[in-house]
Structure formats: C-alpha cells, structure tokens
Structure 1
C-alpha cells in the first residue's frame, strides 16, 4: 500500500514511526553496528531516565561511560586523576505556572512557556499588545506592556535579538514570541518538556527582569480574543512574511510562577589515548559527543521520558566503540575522548572544559564533535560545519570522497546549527573544529524523513531505542568517522586554520 505525503503527515507520530519501521526495506545491523547499538541502548534505556543534567540517571550513564573507557584501555583525564570533570551549575525551574489573558487561560508548556531567569518577576499583570514582526518602527508606545511578536526566520525581518532589543527600547517589559509554524525545516515542538534555565555556577548573575515567553501559534486566538483580526489569518500571513498590523488587546496578561532554584553538579567524562609519537604530544585531538538529554518532561501520548537515543547517546556510544577497537593502541597524536554534560542546557560542559581543560589548552590541536546526526535515511550527502575554515575540511572531503559521500556547506543557516553544539566553544577559543549533519537533496524521500523526524522525534519521547534506523547509513557514518579520526590523528601535519577564515578568532 502507498500513502500520499498529506496522509503520512496526518498520521499520529507513534503510528508514523511504526509505519516507517515496517515499511523500511533493507537488512538489520551488521555485527559492528550491532555492537554500537547495544551500547546506545544501554545509554538510552529507561533506566538511564533520559540523562538529564544533574540527575541520578545522568550519573549512572556517566559511570557506564567511564567503565567502558577504562575497559577499552584509555587513561583517566578528569579532575584529580579520575574519569570525571565535575561542572558546578545553577538551575532555575518553573515548577508551576498560571497564565492567562482576561478570563482566557493559557496552558503552561502546552500553549505557552517561559524562559526562566534569575530576575524574572513571579507575578505579572500587564497590558498586552500585538505588534507583528516587532520591528522598531512598528512598535509605537508599548511602555509597561507584554508584546506579542512573530518569531520568524526570514531575511529582511527582525531576528530574535533585534526583536528583544526593539521591545526593550520601546519600554516593553516582556516579549511573547509566536513559535513560527512557517519555519518548516525545524518546526516548533509542543509541548515543551519543561521550563528550566541552567547556567555555570561562576557565571555573572542575570539582573535583567525582562520576561521572555514563547507562544504556540494555535494559542494566539486565546491570547488576542475576538476583538482583533482573525488569529488564523495573522499566523498565515506571519508565516509567509506578509505585512501585519499592530493593535492592543483589551484584556490584561496575567501570570504567577512558582520558581525553584538549586545548585547542581554534573560531570564531563574524559579519557585519554596517549599518542605514539613523542614529538606530537602537544597536538591532542578531542573527540566529543554530549551525554546529557532531557530526562523526564511533559508527556507526549502518555510517555513522559525523553530517552535521547539519537540525541546524543548513539554518538557517545560511537566514541566508546572507537576506543574499544583501538584496544589501547595509540595513534600518532594523543586522542581525548570527551562525553560532555549540559549541552542541552547551553553547551555548559564543553564550555567548562575549554575554559578549564584537564591538560594544557595549548596542547589541544582540534575537536571533532558528534551531534545532530540522524541515521534514518541513506548517507550520500553530508553537511559539514566549518568546512572551509580549517584543514579538517580537507580531511573530511578526502574521506568522504573515498566513500562516495558528497559534502556541502550548511544549506540551512537560519537554524544556526554551527553554534548550537559542542564544537562551538572550541572554535571560539581558536581551536580548529568540525561537526556533521546528514544531508538530503530537496524533494527526495530523505528530505521527507528528515523533516518528519524534526516534527515528531527531535527532543520528544519518540527519540528512543525503538525508532526506525537505517542500519546501512549508520554503519556508513560510523566507518566514515573512524577513518577520519585515523587520518587526522596519524597524518604528519596537525590540524590548522586556513587563511581568511571568518570563524578564526583574532590572534589565532
């Protein structure tokens, strides 16, 4: 039986993934891929409770990684001769919230959420205004108001930072951003698992009381009521980038927040495979993936556990398999295996490691990071971050060409993926780094699967060990990665920046 694209998109998420698994042709995993997946399952089964930063489930997963690193012959490279580098953090969480406009309630985490901050108000009663895209010229008098703005990702329209700056400058006390349903590549995901903010404990306290809210497009009608333009028409025009009006809402916005603050500690897990060449000891290659996930959150179809199998347990598992297959035999250069914490909370573990490395920072030559990888369709095209900025891009091209895999620059720059994973702190520190995304060609079945996963799987409970995997694609990427690591770690020249790179910090 064949289904139209429209019919497929209408399937409930769980049924769609079940249909994909049943309909997908091909073989099961080969022995090596099965070994990788066995570790993936161990890291993302229900016992690990989604590996939320600072949780007992995360600590169990971290101990498992440390045990695997030890058995593989790595040396501990954490603090005080251990496998662990503890990272102290402060967490602010909204435990409960009552939110509405007039007598119309907005359901917390389903219709609306808030980005918690240290100085945010715990009670709000303020006028509400709708101002389209919230360009500075369109705001008018919004003093003391919460302002509703469309969170579009279109050239020529205000971006997130511009909207916040404009509303603040016009006197607004908060911004409710409509999560843009027109951003089709990475559409909004509702419900939100929770409303939490985690920062490094040594970060400067946030003294900005500006309220940052996110509003579901379908909830706009609840927010504006029946006194303004049709909410559905506003969403359609906003998603298309068409001109929008501005108007005030008659009823006030009101909210009460129950806030919980706590200090937590969560550890990076770091191991070292010493190099074989004494002349290359100051050219370590960091291989990284993030161990943390979302943990427990708002249930989706009755499931409240966000296992985080592909994001990113599978690629911590790949680091373990690389170490296991080396059996303690070093490459020319030292290789650091790093499972970072707090990536989902803002790249916290990698930021801490780069600022407080467990070996001299000057001896770190490069980072190859694993995240944003979805082996759910054939691998014939790979998006490569910082492809032309360092010699790592040349290494990627050479390995990919040998496997008949094309490479490309990021075709979706509006998603800002380069800065959203653990390669970014290394690049900011002047250390050559790269990372990868499975690419697709427009209009193909691969694109359909990719987009559907972002609608139903990304940061949801459906990213679990039971989802459909393209086993050949998984094996192909794993082989690509192992070959790339061997090339970078064994070749004569260490990774280096290229002249003219726009990412290269001054002085590097």
Structure 2
C-alpha cells in the first residue's frame, strides 16, 4: 500500500483492508458513527526544498542535513556560525544572532537535546545545528532522511517558534567549518565525550527554504470483541499496532518506497490474525482492536483516540501495544516495557517463563523506547500498558543482526518482504502474544499499577 504514509491514498486503502479483515473475523465496528474508522484531523508543515551553503560550499538536503519544519521558521537565513562543543549553558557565551553548532552526544553528564536547545535560545542564538553523533552505536544516525515534515493534530496550538533547528550529518562537518580545525578529530572527541574547543567559523551560513502546509485527515481503524462476563464489561483491554509508515521518500540504493513491513504492518497483521483465531468468540473482558494512524508523525492516532475515545476511557483497563518488534533472530530474551510497573509485567513474565523465554528491563534506556510508541499515551493517561522488543545478549550473533538492522532496515526502504526473517522467532512471539492476551483478558483481577512504580499516576508529581 505504498508505505501507508499518514494521509496518503495508500494508507486509506490499507485502512479499508484492515476494516474488512476485522469484519470478516467477527469483530464489530467501534469507530465513529457506527463505522470502523475514527477520523483524525491533522496539519502538515513540510520543507519541500532547501538550499544551504557555507562560504559557497553547498550541503545536500536530506543527505548532509535535514531541517525540523515549523510554520514560523524563516524561509531565508544568512548568519554567522558558532561552534560550541556540547553547548553547555555555562560555556556558550554570547551567540546573539548566530547559528550554533552543537554535538548531539547522548551521554550521561552531557547536555540533553532539550537542554542544548534551551541554552542556545537563552544565549541569543537564532538556531541550532545539531551534529548527529555517529558514536551513538545503539541507534546510529540514519542518512539520508526520507523527508522533512512535521505533522500535528489540527486541534494543537499553532507553533509560532521561529527558532531554526537543523541536524547535520557528521561527514559534512568539514564542509561547514572550513579550514583551521580537523573535523574528523572533533567528531571522534565529540562521540567520546572528550573536551572540545569553542570557535567561530569564518564563513557565513546562507539558506533558502521552501515551506508548504496542508490539512489532512487519516483514520484509526477500531474493532470490538465484546466480553462474555457482564461483571467485567467495564475493563476493556486495548490491543494496538500502528498502521502508518513512511510512504515515499528519499531513495536508498535506488528504492524510494519505505515499505514498513516490520514497522509496523506485520503487527497490524498479528492483530487481524488474533481476531480470526477467535471467530467472534469473546474473552471474559471486552477487547478493542486498534490500528493507529500517525504513529510515525508523533503518536497522533492514539492521542486522538484517548482525547475523544470511541469507547469510554474510564472503562479501559489496559493497553498491550505491538511495535519495535524485530523477529530477525531467535526469541530467547524479551525486553518488556514497564516490566515492574504494572501487573501486565507479571503476566508477561509468567507467560514467557512457560515458553522458556527470559525477560529483561530495557537495557538501553538512553533510547527512550518506552515513550516512542503508542503505549506511552496510555501510560500518560494513567492506564496500565506494556510493549515488547526482541532482546539479545551483548556480543552475541543476535546483537550483530539487531545492530545491522538499525543501520540498513530501520525507517528505510529495505524494511520490506525480502529482508531477513526468523520465522520460528516470529511464530514464538505470536504464541506469546496470544497466550498473554488470553491471560489478561480472562483472569479475575483487572490489570493494575504497582504501588511503587514511578509511572503510577498516584506517585507522579
């Protein structure tokens, strides 16, 4: 379906296919007006074209740099540059009217992205150029970018921030700073958290941006399997995966279709398969089957559902979300998000133990995966939720395969039907999922928060 980009004709066709599959499997519609769809209105801002040069040296849009689109961003820029290492607030100095180069290092003790942004603004900078860190090997920078778009819910307050935000390919740093400093050495030091100099490159930054905006709508697809126990009718379990992908974008090895097979079409298919296996036979609790739109654009579909739910939010007991799953090596270890925060973690641990699958907390919290898919919106709303990632042991062949996929498959056209797949691992996860859903939807007690959890609404500031 042409990669199912949010708001595209391919996405709409895919949504109709999912609705038809849900219907054939015996679900009932739970969208708006008695249908299968919940329409989500959005606004898109896109950098359709960008021309950037420093001292006459050009940079290639989406290959050497990308831009964070914003409605109020300037369309023409001419400014001096300031290189300020990690852009610690105490070391920035006065950078009024300048674009500031900052290493985007993800290391404890160094400024975060939000801290860099805030510090540069406070010091008078007109924008920030973040140097993507090739040393962040747990999730290396991906070049080229598919496109430069920002999509927000139509109900969101209009962004009036004119602060310019660019992301720079580390390979292009030499082009930006010119002579006088060794760009390769700066990159190595920046990736290792070593001390960096401060300097102002001699040449000016010049840019022209072509900005386009449009309104779009894209639907969530929502089906319902009624429960069999009237006493549990107010304890619905939401099973979800995101239907959207990237669609068409910048070609990689001549291919411009970002298929999104494992991210996340395969797991919308798993929701369909579970519905088919039930043949309309309910669990004790009601189960909501949701295929979200706009996940790749900011978790927008699940936000829209929780703000205007087609099933009363007070009657939703939990969410089990499917994303970030990569069945490309054996499943003997499973990362479980919010493992010790809710009873869902206990249920997942028990099911995994019977199957001989070890479980773990997220071993790479610096990637912030818990907040990067739709389970986070349920957690933020105070609803117990969980999600999963195939785990690996350090130094193993599974780790090698996983790392390579993030270099060559993640958010790239190569996430397609011809990629490496471990079909036994995929089947093992499917069995884990079926069993977990049955356990959660049929047990006497509803999912609940652990008293000591920092995510527990009762313990939040």
TM bucket, shorter chain = over 0.9
Q: Secondary structure at the match of 2:138?
A: coil
1:130 aligns with 2:74: no
**Residue of structure 1 in register with 2:427 after alignment:** 475
Q: Distance in 1 between matches of 2:459 and 2:408?
A: 43
Moved over 4 A (4+): none
**Residue of structure 2 in register with 1:486 after alignment:** 438
1:264 aligns with 2:216: yes
1:340 aligns with 2:296: no
Q: Distance in 2 between matches of 1:302 and 1:359?
A: 44
**Residue of structure 2 in register with 1:56 after alignment:** 9
Q: Distance in 2 between matches of 1:386 and 1:351?
A: 19
Q: Root-mean-square deviation (CA), in Å? A: 0.8
Aligned partner of 2:40 among 69, 82, 87: 87
Q: Secondary structure at the match of 1:248?
A: coil
Q: Secondary structure at the match of 1:448?
A: helix
Aligned partner of 2:171 among 197, 207, 218: 218
State how 1:327-366 maps to structure 2 within 5 Å.
Answer: 327-366=279-318
1:77 aligns with 2:25: no
State how 1:83-482 maps to structure 2 within 5 Å.
Answer: 83-227=36-180, 229-482=181-434
CA contact (8 A) 2:453 2:459 kept: no
Q: Distance in 2 between matches of 1:480 and 1:354?
A: 27
TM-score, normalised via structure 2 length: 0.99
State the Cα distance separating 1:507 from its structure 2 match: 8.1
Q: Distance in 1 between matches of 2:280 and 2:110?
A: 53
Q: Distance in 2 between matches of 1:248 and 1:141?
A: 12
Q: Distance in 1 between matches of 2:60 and 2:92?
A: 27
Post-superposition CA distance 1:71-99 (Å, at most 9, x none): 00000000000000000000001111101
Q: Distance in 1 between matches of 2:298 and 2:55?
A: 35
Q: Distance in 2 between matches of 1:436 and 1:238?
A: 32
Q: Distance in 1 between matches of 2:216 and 2:198?
A: 43
Q: Secondary structure at the match of 1:250?
A: coil
State the Cα distance separating 1:505 from its structure 2 match: 2.2
What are the ranges of 5 or more consecutive residues in structure 1 without an aligned counterpart?
1-47
Q: Distance in 2 between matches of 1:348 and 1:375?
A: 26
State the Cα distance separating 1:355 from its structure 2 match: 1.1
Post-superposition CA distance 1:380-408 (Å, at most 9, x none): 00001000110000000000000010100
Post-superposition CA distance 1:213-238 (Å, at most 9, x none): 000000000100113x1000000110
State the Cα distance separating 1:138 from its structure 2 match: 1.7
Q: Secondary structure at the match of 1:247?
A: coil
Q: Distance in 2 between matches of 1:486 and 1:440?
A: 26
What are the ranges of 5 or more consecutive residues in structure 2 without an aligned counterpart?
none
Q: Distance in 2 between matches of 1:253 and 1:381?
A: 48
Q: Secondary structure at the match of 1:99?
A: strand
Q: Distance in 2 between matches of 1:97 and 1:237?
A: 30
